[in-house]
A and B are shown apart, each in its own frame.
Chain A
């Protein structure tokens, strides 16, 4: 078993909140991803068992949503919003600078597995642009130097 007892218990608690078991599939995927950093084929199979679905039905859901990943990624997920309001205030320039600072392109992970860099659609911080998200935390009103320092500070 790859999904831990604790996570399984948390999944069962989520299931109790919905009129049908399947309602808790997205919460369960969040929990599994929290535990492992991604949703592996093995955990998809186990989730299929928990939810009485076919593994392919779970996989379809994983692939539909941008926030679920089926393979390991960097220790830190850095996302720069490049939608229109952020772009108007220099988000694309910021992204270029971070790409050259890290020596990777958006969509890639640094060789040491430290940082995955990606661009993202509007995150609801348009007035505080440019901005980026590291994991669950927003950093707003950034200039390139501040953003580089933030990345340098990641373990």
Chain B
């Protein structure tokens, strides 16, 4: 049930080995909610300024400046405002939010409280993916404890600020992680993303100004308030400050979670921390940031894990889900699994996405079966190209990018399938 704690910890996860940290008493014994006390004595403007200065970027995948996002919330006091915590974590290869909810639910709540005060929000909806039953129970217990102790409710920590938290469970749809799909789901509808603009800060949950942030994003905030933006900038790179919790999976000796500064070289994560590939094999490719992000070949693992560097290699940090594939791996099979997922999860509103994801999967399967033609390779790239930047939400890009990445670095695998009319990787993982 409960996960093992990260193998390498820093400020986010240092107390995760202690079961009591998930309880209010245990959290308070480690200084919990002191940052929220401090925040309530600070003006919302100064808090937003602090978070901007810290350079904190959202950890949900897009990497947008958190302070800037908070500053988009209207301050005229006309309508109720809401905060939304995105705990839908379903990007394949990602499992950091799960452990934050399980081991540190009060840290999530403290970050939320600070965000709520800074943005003037009266209520937070925490949207937890439906399959996360145990994390949702941990979180609900923490919410109940916080209400009983006067940390949530009419007088937050004895102040005049009122804040409520509602936990809602999703029901198994990847697209509800996209922030406007999430908002639709929160309103009791199909999770089909909305056209933007208007952005959530104008028209969000139930039509009210709202801000959506990821679980991990909120967890950094109490540390920034307690220690200052300079301290935070002491971790990571100039452009990408702080740590993140990398989730390492696939062909490594020690898969698991590692909290490391942004900018840590990918090869350090794979070879030192996760202890490299088992059975004396070598790495073939690594997906650096969850399944939506393009793969990197073994020759590019020197890249520092921060967006400004990953972008130069035509990929991104995403959710920090690192998937390692050894030399036996058939990249066309990997492509089949990836494209099946996106075909299955497209919400179907946009033609390019609904049809494109189907085509990508169909062609991948054909090539894997040995029935592909040389033209199929170009058709794959053509379809992927037509899906990019054309749709209501970024899902279609997320479906196109990994295919483009595979073709960029492993085109030979595809060509061999076509030439030999069968899969040339008999030792690859089973499909």
Residues of A within 8 A of B (CB): 17-20, 22-27, 29-30, 51, 60-61, 64-68, 82-85, 87-90, 92-93, 96, 120-129, 133, 136-138
The verdict on B11 contacting chain A, using a C-beta distance below 8 Å, is no
The verdict on B170 contacting chain A, using a C-beta distance below 8 Å, is yes
| Complex contact A25–B188 (CB within 8 A) | yes
| Complex contact B131–A124 (CB within 8 A) | yes
Cα–Cα, bound, A129→B341 (Å) = 18
| Number of A-B residue pairs with CB-CB distance less than 8 Å in the complex they form | 153
**B contacts with A, residue count (CB < 8 A):** 58
The verdict on B60 contacting chain A, using a C-beta distance below 8 Å, is no
Residues of A within 8 A of B256 (CB): 127
Cα–Cα, bound, A102→B256 (Å) = 31
The 8 closest A-B pairs by CB, nearest first: A25-B188, A66-B172, A65-B171, A127-B255, A85-B249, A126-B249, A122-B92, A136-B133
CB distance from B406 to the nearest CB of A (A): 12
Given contact pairs A85-B249, A124-B89, A127-B255, A90 touches B429 in the complex (Cβ within 8 A): yes
Q: Could you list some 28 contacts between A and B, CB below 8 A?
A: A18-B166, A18-B206, A19-B80, A19-B206, A20-B206, A22-B188, A23-B206, A30-B171, A64-B190, A65-B130, A66-B173, A67-B130, A67-B131, A67-B170, A84-B92, A84-B250, A85-B321, A87-B429, A87-B430, A89-B251, A121-B90, A121-B92, A124-B89, A126-B93, A127-B95, A127-B255, A129-B255, A137-B1
Q: Which residue of B lies closest to A136 (CB)?
A: B133
Residues of A within 8 A of B304 (CB): none
Q: Which residue of A lies closest to B428 (CB)?
A: A88
Residues of B within 8 A of A129 (CB): 249, 255
The verdict on B189 contacting chain A, using a C-beta distance below 8 Å, is yes
8 Å CB contacts to A: which residues of B329-368?
329, 334, 337-338, 341, 344-345
Residues of B within 8 A of A122 (CB): 90-94, 291
CB distance from A13 to the nearest CB of B (A): 11
CB distance from B387 to the nearest CB of A (A): 20
| Complex contact B92–A83 (CB within 8 A) | yes
Residues of A within 8 A of B131 (CB): 67, 120, 123-124, 133
Cα–Cα, bound, A67→B171 (Å) = 5
| Complex contact B247–A128 (CB within 8 A) | no
The verdict on B174 contacting chain A, using a C-beta distance below 8 Å, is yes
Residues of B within 8 A of A26 (CB): 168-171, 185, 188
CB distance from B160 to the nearest CB of A (A): 22
| Most chain B CB atoms below 10 A, which of A25, A61, A66 | A66
The verdict on B187 contacting chain A, using a C-beta distance below 8 Å, is yes
Given contact pairs A27-B169, A127-B257, A84 touches B187 in the complex (Cβ within 8 A): no
Residues of A within 8 A of B250 (CB): 84-85, 88-89, 126
Q: Which residue of A lies closest to B165 (CB)?
A: A17
